Structure 1
């Protein structure tokens, strides 16, 4: 073969390679609105960009296609959108705009091929690549974001859309950024930014290869926000509920200090540091925000310092440096968004009384007592600032009690009245304030303690006798699996270590005590675990100082025990988050939706073994809106609803188990308590107790419901536990025991 022929063959081979590399058929699978159209269209690849035959794209979009062969130019029109593209030009013209592509228009086998992604996006479609970009999904937008605005004076963010589309909300570690991702969403052409202000900044991001819209809200200050409790669905809007922000601090007329927030201000705790001439005001559930400070010229306050004292729990601290050490008194509130303090007002206290380990008195205005203990001799001291002693305030009050010897009052200095309780021994205490009929009532309760606990058998009963130093504030409860009698004491010190071992009986298997969180208040709990249970009765003696619990041992009462059989109930188990919405994400990259579903499935299996009927709100890793979950349970007429979640917080040290209920149904608390009792007692992490909340899924379900935060994903140790199958199984077992315990005593709905 001559050299010339060899040269010609080499040129042809190289040309073939170039053409093949530029116009080879693509290996991608393409889905259009959920339908696999790979075989219906011609695809190619050039310079790393996926191309589609223009005629096929026009057919998909029902668009008009015009080809001008002379200049190798293409125009495609559909409704109000048109694109133009020319061979050897990388730009797609979209109306008056131009979009650069890698490949531009390519002619392959005399057919025009154009960039698929850029072209289809020009017509308003959304793209999502999956499986290492081997599959391309093309969607029409399912919802349009028309408005994002502040509601409730800046305490709520409302995102209006055509209809609720799958979404997720992410909270940054430092609490200064919230990201809302909405699946298959687009922004309305007339959308405007109604969010950004001096403290907040909104950024809207289209994520083209994930078919989602991202709303990023940044703040100068932390935004305390619970993913599980701060997101609501209202009609066709998403609502993010934030805590109120500090708005204004000023010295108003008549030297009145005013503190204003964007929402309701809870009752603050105020403390005076006399030596430092400082007033400290701690306000719960308020965020520092972007506030105005106006002290102008005044003779009372030198300066004010504001800080976010705590995020768990949320506490705002205001420190006022006082020029003369004047005492500020809170004024009667007429606006729940406003606090007002006035200097120089003296209160009058009256009617000091003692009863059952407590002493009380009234005041003409709100007080902020300073209370402390002295060791030698043991005394409790209460300083009341800027007050006068009125009628009924004696110098000394004789008391007959095992805790208090006497109560004395005196003027300590020009600004302070002091009340001193002489004690037999140092003890803890609790101060209660009540406001009614323009008077403030204060009661200081010395913590009660156990004086004697004994058991005895008599006749058909075995008795538990519990004697307290003072009148007991208690609640007796019955728990099952295992059978237990539980007595919760409020305002009580756990001094059982001072007692010898309490005698057990044939019915009483074990006796133990613990502290327990009940609606954020600590109680002392006595637990009497039983070998058997038939019935019990509770009576008081010694003017309420004593509690007598009679446990029936007569086997003629076997019928009572038979009543513990649980009929079949329909129980809906809700695995929080799922699909597009991962929930919280742990330091080990574990997504909350995963352990939620794993535990929910284990709960279902265990309940089915107990002959209960069980439905899950989601069976797999799929998205279900809050409304869908609630409607599912309500439409099925479920007897119980239990939602399973994992907690998260900015502080990685926060941890433990807690169960939430909504007070709309009086059985909700009982269900939450039964579940929390099992988990808090046996799961092996901190017992954070039960708490009242307005979480959407437990607020709008019509049957008894509870929401469980099994552990904290933000806590490294607990994130590892949540990933562990044994821990998941243990949590599921305890949740089921709590549900069965509730059903044994309370039945279903």
Structure 2
């Protein structure tokens, strides 16, 4: 009898346990693994509020190895480098060589083992999150090891196991950058070397995703520009900032402004009542900086502000002592700007003769020159200067380029000279000291020779002429002996002393006048050998770029392939407009249209992406480099913190061969002519995709998606078609202008 009672009791306990283990039906919940619903593939039970899954079904779904040791009721589960050991009805789990206590334990039901899903998944390295009845399981593809400052605070380095999809999220707060990394988790030994007195890092796990959100928050507006702000270096992400001010010091009667990167020449303005000097420094951002101003006889106070965001401009205001002046000193260090006390100067003897504008000052000074449009005119501001006796208000000029020269007292200590022009033109400013100690300033408007530069590499020798403005020219190869001649129309003033030393394939350089009517100067390059040349310029042009090829040219597999890069994509939407238009959709639409247009004319086009997917910067570059493409053009839509920023601009990478400049010029010309938007010109910056591509490359910013009007244009298929046609026309124009050298001729 006792034996029968024991059997009955055991039977009842098993029945109760099975009854308590509720079976979940499809539709009761969802189990997403890396975005895909696997619920109907699991065998699940709900026991005491814990979701249990059949061990075998879990192993099959995860692709894990599983072994069941019946004698000791133990399960071994191995996935990648992680091995779990669990015993039925035992609250401990062994993970590799460590043991942890669990809230729920493995259970045997009807001869099968069931495991607590959450605890097993997390010990295998997955991220587990619940949202109502839905469960999200994600396996990170990368881990963030640390974040640190580089380049004196001008760059942040994010170290990962490997590059995963990333994006910069739009924020209306200029003091905040939000970086999201998909399929990424924080490494257990993550190190934060970012947070300091100016910055701090906030890290969040994005709900229901294996995604990290890193918010970089500053006391000051962060000097970050979206498209040019991200680089890749192996398994590292680099976030690049514009340079920012670090210090202003007064010492030894000098004011020194220091930044953590290169500074450009400021626009300077003198104001009165009270007397102050305003320096607007382009491309520089405000940051926490050291201010050390000793008591002195020139400067009473210094104020600094972020004057503009488009273009980025830092304003430094010097409150000057009455009757005191300061002037900018040229300095060899690119990250410092120095001002020193100056005397008030007098300007006199203004003349305009033979396309040369000249005037004389008592003191050495650095005139501030800039060009204005509508109408076209060159403005010359002379700071700390007054007009001398009989200084003219106007000089009438009957010239093809200059129509008048006007002068005015801009304020008490600034003289302004304006040259009215029929069009924009290059100019050259020179200053020389006269025998009487005064200084003569000469501005040349006539076309003239600026410089000639030779560079040499293992595969070629490059020749680069630079003129003050466009000139017509002809390049010819002559034989017996081999030489290359360049005949340039309307250019004078080239002297033998200005020519560089021979280099590479060039063993001698000679200059002479080929004809006087019309005026043609001839530059002859004597060659050690000749294997061909390319002319990489338009005609006429303000520069002539010629490549002399060394040795027989190797066959190039991708010589007719043009790579079109649609910026952003997939996880990375790029910039987002006020009404929600995404840059990634705009760029893909234009790229597909460019592909269709050029392929219809017989060109071989490769797109870095043909659909809405994430492609890393390195992958984009590798696509072009591996097929040895002829050209690479990256398409983007611009964005700014200012909703009023507008227009089209094109970028080339600094220090790249002349082909890149020509490509950027023709693309910008065609886009500007076709789209009729503000022409923001050609700029240089180290965008990853144009820095590391090995062929001529350029990056176009078609219009500002952050500008409501231009966003509406970018949402128009008609406008996108115009942009695509302009890019296609620019590419064809480039190919037409890169001319191969002809066979040798005698002369």
2:121 is matched with: 120
1:401 CA displacement: 3.8
Secondary structure of 1:589's counterpart equals coil
* CA distance 1:728–1:28, shift in 2 (3 Å): farther
What runs of 5+ residues in structure 2 fail to find an aligned partner? 1-15, 60-75, 373-377, 448-466, 475-514, 522-538, 541-557, 742-747
1:301-700 pair list within 5 angstroms: 301-345=299-343, 354-360=352-358, 365-368=364-367, 383-385=382-384, 401-402=397-398, 442-443=441-442, 473-474=469-470, 569-663=560-654, 664-700=656-692
The answer on whether the counterparts of 1:433 and 1:440 sit within 8 Å (CA) in structure 2 is no
Residue 199 in structure 1 maps to residue 204 in structure 2: no
Alpha-carbon distance in structure 2 between the residues aligned to 1:36 and 1:401: 80
Equivalent position to 1:270, from 244, 268, 271: 268
> How far does the alpha carbon of each residue in 1:435-486 deviate from its partner, in whole angstroms, 9 at most, with x for none?
89999984457899xxxxxxxxxxxxxxxxxxxxxx99445799xxxxxxxx
> How far does the alpha carbon of each residue in 1:344-390 deviate from its partner, in whole angstroms, 9 at most, with x for none?
456798997644344235776443569999xxxxx99965526999x
The answer on whether the counterparts of 2:175 and 2:221 sit within 8 Å (CA) in structure 1 is yes
1:177 is matched with: 176
1:24-35 pair list within 5 angstroms: 24=25
1:721-732 pair list within 5 angstroms: 721-732=713-724
Normalising by structure 1, report the TM-score: 0.68
1:162 is matched with: 161
1:331 CA displacement: 3.1
Secondary structure of 1:179's counterpart equals strand
1:293 is matched with: 291
1:626 CA displacement: 0.9
* CA distance 1:431–1:342, shift in 2 (3 Å): farther
The answer on whether the counterparts of 2:88 and 2:108 sit within 8 Å (CA) in structure 1 is no
* CA distance 1:110–1:147, shift in 2 (3 Å): same
The answer on whether the counterparts of 1:352 and 1:394 sit within 8 Å (CA) in structure 2 is no
The answer on whether the counterparts of 2:86 and 2:106 sit within 8 Å (CA) in structure 1 is no
1:221 CA displacement: 1.7
Residue 75 in structure 1 maps to residue 92 in structure 2: yes
The answer on whether the counterparts of 1:568 and 1:613 sit within 8 Å (CA) in structure 2 is no
2:251 is matched with: 252
The answer on whether the counterparts of 1:633 and 1:701 sit within 8 Å (CA) in structure 2 is yes
Alpha-carbon distance in structure 2 between the residues aligned to 1:32 and 1:202: 29
Secondary structure of 2:178's counterpart equals strand
Range with bigger deviation, 664-673 or 33-42: 33-42
* CA distance 1:697–1:362, shift in 2 (3 Å): farther
The answer on whether the counterparts of 1:285 and 1:314 sit within 8 Å (CA) in structure 2 is yes
Alpha-carbon distance in structure 2 between the residues aligned to 1:429 and 1:16: 91
The answer on whether the counterparts of 2:51 and 2:117 sit within 8 Å (CA) in structure 1 is yes
* CA distance 1:77–1:737, shift in 2 (3 Å): same
> How far does the alpha carbon of each residue in 1:269-324 deviate from its partner, in whole angstroms, 9 at most, with x for none?
22222442111111111101111223243333222221111111111101111222
1:249 CA displacement: 1.6
The answer on whether the counterparts of 1:30 and 1:137 sit within 8 Å (CA) in structure 2 is yes
The answer on whether the counterparts of 1:176 and 1:220 sit within 8 Å (CA) in structure 2 is yes
Residue 66 in structure 1 maps to residue 94 in structure 2: no
1:227 is matched with: 226
The answer on whether the counterparts of 1:369 and 1:385 sit within 8 Å (CA) in structure 2 is no
Give RMSD over aligned pairs.
Answer: 5.0
1:709 is matched with: 701
Secondary structure of 2:621's counterpart equals helix
* CA distance 1:162–1:362, shift in 2 (3 Å): farther
Secondary structure of 2:690's counterpart equals helix
Residue 215 in structure 1 maps to residue 233 in structure 2: no
How many residues of Structure 1 are paired with residues of Structure 2 in the alignment? 604
Normalising by structure 2, report the TM-score: 0.68
* CA distance 1:660–1:475, shift in 2 (3 Å): farther
The answer on whether the counterparts of 1:432 and 1:442 sit within 8 Å (CA) in structure 2 is no
Alpha-carbon distance in structure 1 between the residues aligned to 2:432 and 2:186: 52
> How far does the alpha carbon of each residue in 1:131-153 deviate from its partner, in whole angstroms, 9 at most, with x for none?
x99785532x3333223111111
> How far does the alpha carbon of each residue in 1:594-642 deviate from its partner, in whole angstroms, 9 at most, with x for none?
1211221121122211111111111222211111111110111111111
The answer on whether the counterparts of 1:329 and 1:342 sit within 8 Å (CA) in structure 2 is yes
Alpha-carbon distance in structure 1 between the residues aligned to 2:517 and 2:135: 73
Secondary structure of 2:189's counterpart equals coil
The answer on whether the counterparts of 1:145 and 1:186 sit within 8 Å (CA) in structure 2 is yes
